[in-house]
Amino acid sequence: MGKKKKEVKETKKKSQNAAGSNQFDKKSARISSFIEKKGLVALFLFLLSFGVFAFSLKGDFVWDDAVLIKNSTTLKASYIDYKTLIPWQGKGHKGKHYRPLMRISWVVDQEIWGGSPVGFHLSNVIFHSASTVLFYFMALLILGEFKVERKESIAFLSSLFFALIPIHVESISFISARADLLCSMFFFLAFIFNILSYRKLWFFALAILCFYLSLLSKEVAVAFPLVAIGFDLISGRFRSRSSLLRYAFFGLMIFIYLYFRRGTLEFLSRFASEHLWWMLRVFFDSYVFYLGKLIFPFKLNPFITSEPVSIYYFIFSLLVIILLCIIGYISIRKKERVTAFSIYWVFATLGP
């Protein structure tokens, strides 16, 4: 009798485990089925990004918003013409910042919403949500180029991280930081079209257009050619003749942009000649500082008034950078490559 009871218990236990396993398999199958439906995933990511940052719609104008938007007398459609795109003639672009697309977007908001901050915040949230969706499709293409298995799941999780990481709060909630949102949105679009142009060349014209729109949003977009060339190097496309033609077009866009910004470049060259060591130290220290914020996004502060000055921190920064370079090299040697490109992406985009 004891043996029979024991056998019955074991049978029940096995059946329960089997049922639980079947339920888990069904849930996993449903999740996998959802992730494979790219349109639904894109919609989910957009709504999630929008919902998380919708609380900023209750916010007012803060910090520089008061001067640049709330109390500005030049945010009118009549102030937007071809001179807006020429820094030495355009109104409001004679300083160190030349971000005409951000200003144009403010004018559009002003025309639609008047002086209400709700519309300005709404635009920021929409731009971030759109960037999240673009990041998702860009990740899919990059992972596909590197032949990564389960690319849909990895792209989805990466996009969730991009959508929810708190380090984006300043760019979304602070209207005057909209340049980051516009720049990233056009940057992602440019990279998507650049990858698609390997299949159909006419996409490259859209890549060039979006790249320049990204430059007109914020100057850090100068990193785009570095990212594109790095992608070709790591993925093995660098030696093709068509790639060399692409780089020529990237160079032309950079030349035109720098020609417009030549006044700022003259100032930077004088500053660099006087403070070269300081700039190099901040350059290397900033990598570790922002890598730390990406991994541990706590105690965020929109006003970073000082940087670590210890020689030990500088040495630590160099060691971290060297370690990441070694990891990237191992990734290439093992022909896994996507890790190397991910590390390179951070270096190239943080550099400016």
Task: Report whether 69 contacts 87 (CB < 8 A).
Answer: no
Higher pLDDT, 281 or 12: 281
Each residue's pLDDT tens digit, 220-260: 899 999 999 999 888 877 666 677 788 888 888 888 887 77
Point out the least confidently predicted range of 19-28, 290-299, 333-342: 19-28
Point out the least confidently predicted range of 12-26, 63-77, 114-128: 12-26
**Residues 93-114 as b or e (16 or more Cβ within 10 Å = b):** beeeebbbbbbbbbbebbeeee
Alpha-carbon separation of residue 44 from 126, 228, 290 (angstroms): 14, 29, 28
Complete DSSP assignment for 122-191: HHHHHHHHHHHHHHHHHHHHHHHHTT-TTHHHHHHHHHHHHHH-GGGHHHHH-GGGHHHHHHHHHHHHHH
Each residue's pLDDT tens digit, 27-84: 555 556 656 678 899 999 999 999 999 999 888 888 888 888 887 777 777 677 666 6
Taking 80 as the threshold, does the pLDDT of residue 310 lie above it? no
Each residue's pLDDT tens digit, 72-103: 777 777 677 666 666 555 444 445 677 888 98
Average pLDDT, the chain: 81
Apex CA 120: angle with CA 114 and CA 123, to 5°? 130
Residue 320's pLDDT band (cuts 50, 70, 90): confident
Between CA 110 and CA 198 the distance in angstroms is 40
Task: Report whether 150 contacts 39 (CB < 8 A).
Answer: no
Query: 167 CB contacts (<8 Å, ≥6 apart)?
Result: 293, 294, 297, 300
DSSP state of 92: T
Average pLDDT over residues 166-191: 92
Highest averaged pLDDT of the listed ranges 124-133, 246-255, 302-311: 124-133
Q: Two tokens at 201?
A: 């060349």
Higher pLDDT, 87 or 331: 331
Query: What pLDDT is stored for residue 59 in this prediction?
Result: 85
Query: What pLDDT is stored for residue 93 in this prediction?
Result: 46
pTM of the model: 0.83
Each residue's pLDDT tens digit, 286-304: 788 888 888 888 888 777 7
Taking 90 as the threshold, does the pLDDT of residue 124 lie above it? yes
Query: What pLDDT is stored for residue 92 in this prediction?
Result: 44
Query: What pLDDT is stored for residue 299 in this prediction?
Result: 80
Higher pLDDT, 327 or 266: 327
Each residue's pLDDT tens digit, 188-231: 999 999 999 888 888 999 999 999 899 989 988 999 999 999 99
CB atoms within 10 A of CB 345: 17
Average pLDDT over residues 119-123: 93
Between CA 35 and CA 29 the distance in angstroms is 10
